[in-house]
Structure 1
Amino acid sequence: MTVRVQDAIKELQAGRFVVILDDPDREDEGDLAISAQHVTAQDLLFLIKAAAGFLCVSLPGWRLDELAIPLMPKAYQKGDTPFCETVDWYSVSSGSSVHDRLRTIHALLDPAARPHEFTRPGHVVPLRADSEGVLQRRGHTEAIVDLCAVAGLYPAGILCEILDEQGHVARGPSLEAFARRYGFPIVSVWDIVEHRKRNLDATPQAVVSKRLYR
């Protein structure tokens, strides 16, 4: 296991943030990420204020299928961000506060939750991770789900794109400065790909995580 993957796993297990970078020839962006299992209302508020980008919840396909949450109705092309139908938990108020969104996120992970208990459209944006993780699609969506699965956590995570101080997508030095400012470890999607390739125990989240969390 590489040092960067190991550091990221330790931070996620402790309920802390990591910065995930994708390939320069892809989106060339960084997302601030935390496990959905550990996220708090204060964490969501920090994501919104500090990272300032679009907030999403990455989930394995089997869980979204259980909750009957489909991909957004558009012509989906391979490699596109796998946005799903937005949802709210039925008992929240407006749905927009961090406390309401946290309740919805917890419900998405709750094995007792049922499809009819989510209102649609809502304020929480799920993303559907590929069943083979980063070995099939090298995106932030798969990266956080794979990291959480390897860390022994529920295979779901919160992602928020990192913007720079001018409101542009942060890249290169801006991302490194952001991570240094808050002391967050950086891990790349390629680091996770290499870990998955080198470790036979790092099996796809669709197999291991479904067995553990159903």
Structure 2
Amino acid sequence: MIQKAVEALKKGEFVLIYDFADREGETDFAIRSDMITPEDIRSMRKDAGGLICTAVHSDAADKMGLPFASEVLKMTHIAEKEGDIPYDKKNHSSFSLWVNHKDTFTGITDIDRALTANHLADHVKHAMNGGALDFASEFRTPGHMATLRANKKLLDERRGQTELSITLAEIGGITPCITICEMLDDNTGRALSKEDAEKYAEENGLVFIGGKEIVEYWEKQKSQQV
């Protein structure tokens, strides 16, 4: 399934990623940010319903000047306390800044959010290739696209949706900038069950993959490089 997921991601299709039953127990829509369209944003808000975010590789985030939100908020005395996140006791939240690209209007429309994600991917691509674009001159904050910083050691240290999606991008050799959104259940108000997410994937011809499979492939790749 890992190869199917990678190929789907490469083609700009949605991949459904389930993390772990003992973590969030959630399935996220994931799609490469450099190919996302307004129609994709619409699908995310209507069929997934969670928060639409764009995950960024940590190396790119460093060069772009994207901090962890928790670090910025420490001065307000309302930043998260260590160990406060019930599903991730070892690491803090991956949230960084909320941004709009300068060419957006309100920033919230499907068109605006797709544009912001596209331009975030441009900056990540340049950063990962050793270049640098002026992030501050192109984006406004606060905005309507939440950015997420992947852990520097990816799945070696944190196994959230941010790291799972960025790892999948690395495996596929594409720009490690992925837009994700949690799938919610309209009836229960909770996260959509794994079974229902798998059913949605089957009915819509999408690839469904579990975090465990991504981790196993990642670890196998690393062991072969030693």
SS in 1 for 2:41: helix
Pick one of 148, 151, 163 that aligns with 1:130.
151
Q: 1:76 to 1:146 in 2, by over 3 A?
A: farther
Most deviating of 153-162 and 92-101: 92-101
SS in 2 for 1:12: helix
SS in 2 for 1:108: helix
Q: How many pairs does the alignment contain?
A: 200
Pick one of 175, 182, 193 that aligns with 1:161.
182
Aligned-partner Cα distance in 1 for 2:92–2:211: 16
Aligned-partner Cα distance in 2 for 1:48–1:106: 17
Aligned to 2:22: 25
SS in 2 for 1:143: helix
What is the correspondence of 1:19-168 to structure 2 with a 5 Å cutoff? 19-72=16-69, 73=73, 74-75=79-80, 77=82, 78-110=90-122, 111=126, 113-117=133-137, 118-166=139-187, 167-168=189-190
Instruction: Give the Å deviation of 1:76.
Output: 5.9
SS in 2 for 1:20: strand
Most deviating of 101-110 and 143-152: 101-110
Instruction: Give the Å deviation of 1:183.
Output: 1.9
Stretches of structure 2 that go unaligned for 5 or more consecutive residues are: 74-78, 83-89, 127-131
Q: 1:24 to 1:53 in 2, by over 3 A?
A: same
TM-score, normalised via structure 1 length: 0.86
Instruction: Give the Å deviation of 1:137.
Output: 0.8
Aligned to 2:211: 189
Work out the percentage of aligned pairs sharing the same amino acid: 29
Q: 1:76 to 1:201 in 2, by over 3 A?
A: farther
Aligned-partner Cα distance in 1 for 2:183–2:24: 12
Aligned to 2:129: none
Q: 1:21 to 1:202 in 2, by over 3 A?
A: farther
Q: What amino acid is the match of 2:198? A: E
Aligned-partner Cα distance in 1 for 2:197–2:93: 21
